Structure 1
Amino acid sequence: MVVFNGYSSILARCARLSIEPTQHAIHVSLGEKKLRHFLNGALVRTYDTAFGINPPSCVENSLGTPTGLHFIDEKIGDGAPEGMVFIGRIPTGKRYWEYGPEEKRNFVTTRILWLRGLEPGHNAGPGCDSHDRYIYIHGTNLEADFANARSHGCVLLRNAEMIDFYNAVPSGTLVLIE
């Protein structure tokens, strides 16, 4: 098996936490602004990403992207059209470009992969829980300036890529953010 950049980190974290690696595995590199999707240790695809407004942080209300091992707990948005805006994980019926300038903000668009942390006291539990913080991998309305896009702690993908990625990974997939 060929081990690509990031996959060895996933295996090491799984071993440290006594967690069995999943067939699909995701490595998110905050420094590189890359998300890598692995299948049985082989690199499937690399995506450009954007992250939190603030530096990485697992602390509640920090607006930083949480680090550590997570898994995809819920997949939301099957069949929604590209650019669909979700509020409270519910599709609004409008795509982001259908909102007027006074309504524009950093939207959750297209698909949602809701993450749950696996490291108690780090990204799971009181004051640091990624799931309770509503940390997702999701599409964005900020594609025009994607290099400068910022979230409230979520991992952002371009909308067409979000659909591709969403369709490729099952619930339960491990996601290491570092």
Structure 2
Amino acid sequence: MRKPQLSHLPPEQGVWLEIDLGTQSLTIREGEMCRETFAISSGAHGIGQHEGSGQTPVGWHYVRAVIGDGLPPGSVFRGRRPTGEVFSPELARAHPERDWILTRILWLCGLERGFNRGGDVDSQRRYIYLHGTPAEQPMGTPASHGCIRLRDEALLAVLEAAPAGTPVWLHD
């Protein structure tokens, strides 16, 4: 596992998110205390920093923006904009090609220049998010295009604890 840069360690007090790509889990932490853990699904192509890789980046990030506040669970997003649709099995059958981004988008921004910020390794410009996914999508196994997928209920719980500005450590 890559050691975090000392300048990016989480605060001794306060909420931060730990995303363990090895165990496919997200833990809400307050200081060193574990508040809650959820299953995730990360990039099907593994771990990596580079644009176009379809991989999930590692290192220190923060939640740059939250998109979709106030929309109903299951709201569908394309290009970071709500489509006005709410996910349903019928909608999935009508659009089998879609990579579903549901409920909310927690858009990540890297904190480590040259590693996950800037150039062709910039997590924000790669559109790396935490987002909701349909219930039939697997959790606990890598299956995304690089983002972190969560069940809608888990995503809403994460958002309640971790608003914009919250530190996030992704590691293997």
TM-score (norm 1): 0.86
The one of 75, 79, 82 equivalent to 2:66 is 75
> In 2, Cα distance between the equivalents of 1:110 and 1:49?
15
Residue number in structure 2 paired with 1:103: 95
TM-score between both structures, scaled by the size of structure 2? 0.89
Counterpart check, 1:54 vs 2:45: yes
The amino acid across from 1:65 in the alignment is: T
User: Structure 1: how far apart are the matches of 2:116 and 2:44?
Assistant: 18
Structure 1 segments unaligned to the other structure (5+ residues): 1-8
Map of 1:44 onto structure 2: 35
Unmatched segments (≥5 aa) in structure 2: none
Does the alignment pair 1:144 with 2:133? no
Write the distance in 2 (CA, Å) between the matches of 1:30 and 1:24: 19
1:102: how far off?
A: 3.9
Amino acid in structure 1 at the alignment position of 2:118: G
Find the counterpart in structure 1 of residue 18 from structure 2: 27
Residue 156 of structure 1 is matched in structure 2 by: 149
Say whether residues 1:94 and 2:85 are aligned partners: yes
Q: Which amino acid aligns with 1:55?
A: G
Q: Distance in 2 between matches of 1:149 and 1:86?
A: 21
Residue type at the aligned position of 1:154: C
Report the aligned-residue RMSD.
1.9
Identity across the alignment (%): 37
| Residues 160 and 37 of structure 1, relative CA distance in 2, 3 Å threshold | same
Aligned length: 166
Offset at 1:96?
1.9
CA distance in 1 between counterparts of 2:6 and 2:107 reads: 21
Write out the 4+ residue segments of structure 1 that deviate beyond 6 Å after TM superposition: none
Aligned to 1:4: none
Query: Which deviations, in whole Å up to 9, do the C-alpha atoms of 1:46-102 show, x marking residues without a partner?
Result: 000001120111100000000111000001111111111011111111112152524
Task: Return closer, same or farther for 1:100/1:75 CA change in 2, 3 Å cut-off.
Answer: closer
Higher helix proportion = 1
- Structure number with the bigger relative contact order (C-alpha 8 A, sep ≥ 6) is 2
